[in-house]
Structure 1
Amino acid sequence: MTELRVVEGDITALPVDAVVNAANSGLLGGGGVDGAIHRAGGPEILAACRQLRASSLPDGLPAGQAVATTAGRLPARWVIHTVGPVYSRSQDRSAVLRSAYTASLAVADELGATSVAFPLISAGAYGWPLEDAVSQALTAIRNAPTTVDEVTLVAFSPAVAEEIQRQLR
Structure 2
Amino acid sequence: MFKPSKSRLIQLSLILLVAGIALPAGGRTASANYFNNMYDNIQQFTGLPDEINQLKSNYNQALQELDKAKIASERLQQQNLTLAEQNSNLAEQNQQLTQMVSQLQEAEAARKRGAERLKTVAITAVALAAGYFVIIRVLRFGMRRTNRSR
Q: TM-score range by the shorter chain?
A: under 0.3
The structure with more radius of gyration: 2
Higher strand share: 1
Which structure carries more relative contact order (alpha carbon 8 Å, separation 6+)? 1
Bigger share in helix: 2
TM-score by length of 1: 0.14
